[in-house]
Every structure is written in C-alpha cells, then in structure tokens.
Amino acid sequence: MDRFKKYLKRTGKKEHVVEGLVNQVRAAEAYLKAERQVELDSAEEEDIRHFTQILPTKEIKKRMRALALYFEFSRNAPLASLARAIREKEVAKTRRRFKLRHFCGINLEEVVRLETIGIVTVDDMLAAGKTPLTRQQLAEKTNVPLESILELVQLSDLSRLGAVKGVRARLYFDAGLDKPSKFIDWEPEALRQMLEHFVESTGFDGIAPLPKEVRSTIAKARDLSPIIEY
C-alpha cells in the first residue's frame, strides 16, 4: 500500500484523504480475501460486484471511488472502469433531476422539441446523446441542429461535477471548459484566475467561482469516469 499512498499524494490529495482511501481499499482487500478467497490484485469483475452487493447503499460511492483509484494505480483498466461505472450509477440516483431548460443560454424552442420525445433532464440527455451516431440520429429525429444537441450533451456532462448547473455550466462551457476532462490538468489558482479574467473581459453575466469551489470541481473531474463519446 505504500506505493499506492505515494501515487495518491502525487495526484495532490491531502494526507487525511489519502489515509481514508487507503483504509477503504484495505477493507475491500480483507473482505475479498476472507469471503472470496482472492487477493485484490487477482480479483475479477464478479468479485467486485459481489463486494458491492454486501455494502450499505451509502457506502458504495466512497468504496468504489477508492477501488477505482487503486485499480487505476495498478493498471487494471477493466476493474477501474467497472468501479467508476458502479459509483456513477449510485451518484446518478441521488443527483437532482436538473432540467435542460434551466441551463443558461440555451435555445428554449429546441429544448421543447427534445421534451416532446421525453428528453427533459440532464440524465435523459446523457443517455440519448452518448455517441456521435446517437446524437446525429437525435438531431434528425427532432430537427434540432447537431451542434445544439452536442452543446446540451456537454452542458449535461458538466452537470456531473456536483454543484455545476445552470449559470456555472454555461460559464465553464463558454470559457472553453466544455467537458469534465478539460479540468483535470488545471491547477486551482490558475483556473480561478483564468475564469475571473474571462468574466471581466467578456462581460459574462455571472461571477467566477471561489477558490474552494474551483478546488472541489477539479477534484470531482479527476474522479469522474467518461460516459460520453466525443
């Protein structure tokens, strides 16, 4: 676990966060060894799913976050992807059903066309616009321009960053941060300054995020697994 600790610290996580993640992984390791007779590094998809089934619902998100990071560290891409997918599913259950019409700067007439076929919330949009092909098909079906479909998908994808909704998602999108992956390589203060300059230079109708929000948003972006094919 020492190498895993070092890996976590290199990603900028604080000591108490590192300790918490390591303890979560150790708990999973102990369970798999006792109940499945398998070492964590030899675990398969069935073992991870079995472990998930015995967890209290409120524990799944943080346990899967820790395991996703561990499998990423150990270069086990299939299990890292599985853990992130399980976590995302749990997050989606508690995510407020934010409606597309509440994003700033959207074409309401186009959103209404989507609503008529049942695409009302960000989760609906993410499900319907996962790939270039499904977005193209959706554009043809609704007569909503493909570029508008893509924009709504990207805004919806940004909404997965916790508190990023309405105005904030529009700010990030307009500033060029049009998908969660674009936050990953930013340092918090540099990102805050860039957004502050963008607001001041463009007259954007809103304020730049405070340092705490920027740090939280970058951390969440680094934890998210991609669900949209761009």
The residues, any chain, with a CB within 8 Å of residue 204's CB and separated by 6 or more, are 171, 174, 198
- 10-residue mean pLDDT profile of the chain (230 residues): values are 90 87 95 94 95 89 92 94 88 75 96 97 94 97 98 96 86 96 95 96 93 91 89
* Contact status, residue 148 vs residue 219, Cβ threshold 8 Å: no
The residues, any chain, with a CB within 8 Å of residue 198's CB and separated by 6 or more, are 171, 174, 175, 204, 208
The per-residue pLDDT for 225 is 83
The per-residue pLDDT for 164 is 74
For residue range 74-114, list pLDDT tens digits in order. Answer: 999 999 999 988 988 887 775 567 899 999 999 999 999 99
The per-residue pLDDT for 96 is 60
For residue range 109-130, list pLDDT tens digits in order. Answer: 999 999 999 999 999 999 999 9
The per-residue pLDDT for 13 is 84
The per-residue pLDDT for 94 is 59
The per-residue pLDDT for 89 is 81
The per-residue pLDDT for 195 is 96
